[in-house]
Every structure is written in C-alpha cells, then in structure tokens.
Amino acid sequence: MKQKFKNILSNPKRTTLVALIIAIALGAWSAYAHNKTMSALFAKIAQDQASFGTTPVIGSHQDLTLAFPVGGRIKSVSVKIGDKVTAGTVLASLDAENVIGAMNQAKAAYTAAQTAYDKLVNGTSTPDIDIAKVALANAKSAQTNTIAQQKVLVDNAHRTMLNSGLAAIPAVQSNSQIISPTISGTYTGATEGVYTISVYATSDGNYFSFTGLEDGSGQVSAVATPLGTRGLYISFPSNFTLASNTVWTVSIPNTQSATYLTYYNAYQSALQAQTQAIAAAQGAVDAAQANLDQKLASARSEDLAIAKAQVESTQGALQIAQGAYNNTIITAPVDGTITSVSITAGQIATANTPAIELLSN
C-alpha cells in the first residue's frame, strides 16, 4: 500500500490529479456546510420576525442601474459618486422645453374642462347671470343704434341718387330750341316720380303749373320760385318767351343724368350694407339671449355627459404629456448612494444606455 502511494507521488501528473480531486471534495463539503449553516440562520431570523408579525427581508441592498428611456441632449446631472439621495430626487435631465410646453398646455386644457364640468354640476352663479343680462342689454342697444345709423346712411344715398342731375326736359322734342327753366334746390321727398310743368299766359303775365308728384302753380320769373313743397325751385330765363306746347318734365331720379348710375350703385351698396349690419346685430342679440337662457337653465344629462367626456379626454392627454416629461428625467427610485455616474451635461444620451448606478439602502 505504501509502495503504491509512493509510486503515485513519484508521478507529477498523478500527484496533480489527486490534489485536484481532494480540493473539489473539500470545496463541496465546505459549501454544503455553509449552506446548512445559513439555512439554519435564515430559519432562525424568519422565526424571530414571525414572532413580531413581520416578514423577513433578505438581501435588501440592491445595485440599480438607471438610464433615460429616450435619447436627447443631457441638460443637467445633479449628483456625483458618493452622494446620498432619497427616493424621488431628480438625478439628471434632458433638454425638454417642447415637452414641458405640451405638458403645461395639457394641464390648462384639463383645468378648463374640469372647471366647465363643475359649473354645470353646481349651476351658474348669480354674478355670471347678471353679466349675461348686461351683455344681452348691450347687444339690444347696439342693435337699435345699428338700425338707426344704417337708416341714415341709406336715406342719404337714396337722396343723393334722387337729386343727381335734376333738369327740366322738354316734353316735346320739337321745342328743344326753347331754353328750359333751371331746377335747383334739394329734393327732400322720398318718393320717386315726375313733375310735369306747363306755362300759360294770363292778363297779369306768364304763369306755370305743375302736376305729378305735387300739384301747384307760380309766376314765371328769373328768380328761383318754389316748385312744390319738397325743396325744389324753378327759375326761367330773363328773356323767356311763351311758345305753344311749352311743357317740361322733371324726373326724380333723372335716369338720363351722367352721374345717375354712379349714385344708383352707391345706393344699392348702402342697402346691402344695411341688410348685413342689421343681420349681424340681430345675431349678436340672439347669441346673448341664448347665453343667458343657458345660464338660467339647469344642466341637462347630455350636457353633463359631454362635459365629463371632455374632462376624461383632457385628463388622458395630460397623463400622456406627463409620461413624455418623465421620460426626460432620471429620478431615484429608492433611498441610496450613488456608486457610478457615466454621463455629463451636454452629452447626447442614447435611450436605455446605463447612466447612473445607485446602491439602495
């Protein structure tokens, strides 16, 4: 036996093999003994914790690797190796002005929707109703003023058209060599029509008569004499000589005037503007009345449903915006100590690339 053992030791390869087998056996036995000891210890800890109604925590220290979920330029790194941090602390951030703007817009939309819903649920306040009443009164007052103003504008345009190029035209063209009387003044009537003027002789001199829009008469004179009661005057040449068939017509408006078409178009434009302005004023009154009626009426179920849906929609948009913002920052998930920082401000971060390591407490 001793000789065999000596033979084994005298062979280097065999000696190494034997040593290796012995080491493996000793390692396996040591691991078995250690696991048995630790199992007993953990069982004891669990038993002690159970007696106090708690759950055992084994291996509570964790080495956490943190990274940005999205890529972008790094704006700030707020920690260094060895720093103690608490859960929720912002450790690093990316440039995120657009994301922050979108989140603020989403917050505003959500707040507005929630406020509108609350107003429907709680009913309109008295001050809001009073404001709506004032708005309606103002709209009605503006409508009255608009109607009056437009009437003046249309009347002025119509009067200008009626007075455009007024003249006495011979009724019989063969007498066109006779000098016609002059028509002056401003026609103040609103009715369109014709004055027919005739001249006749009397023992007291020559006179004229007129029919049509008005009936009347007067003495032929070079001085302007009223032609009716609507603002027009007639004057004859100083050398006027009575002839047969001396009859003239004064058409209101004078459609043969060179300026008639211009003033006619202006009058039509004034009528169209009047229609549009009055319609707009009526629309403002209707809108103000509807607003007041809505504030006085109680909320309907369908209105509440629409408002609630708007709240939920804007809330979802806000959650999405907040999620996008959260992707631009790294926060500490637990209390712990910074063990590694592999990023610096100004770098371009790649999504999910390890940036900071944290050893939890």
pLDDT digits (tens, 9 = 90+) for 164-173: 999 999 987 6
pTM, full prediction: 0.48
Is pLDDT above 60 for 257?
yes
d(CA 104, CA 111): 11
Position 307 scores a pLDDT of: 87
pLDDT digits (tens, 9 = 90+) for 271-305: 999 999 999 999 999 999 999 988 887 767 788 88
Is pLDDT above 50 for 131?
yes
pLDDT digits (tens, 9 = 90+) for 185-201: 999 999 999 999 999 99
- Backbone φ, ψ for residue 136 (5° rounding): -65, -45
Confidence of residue 22 (pLDDT cuts 50, 70, 90): low
By mean pLDDT, which of 206-220, 240-254, 281-295 is the weakest?
A: 240-254
Helix locations, the chain, DSSP H: 2-9, 12-51, 97-122, 126-162, 260-296, 301-326
Per-residue tokens: 98: 């657009």
Is pLDDT above 80 for 3?
no
Q: 2 or 307, which is more confident? A: 307
User: How are strands ordered across the β-sheet holding 205-212?
Assistant: 169-170, 247-252, 193-202, 205-212, 216-219
Q: Which residue's structure tokens are 């709680």?
A: 122
8 A C-beta contact, residue 310 and residue 116: yes
pLDDT digits (tens, 9 = 90+) for 68-95: 999 899 999 999 999 999 999 999 999 9
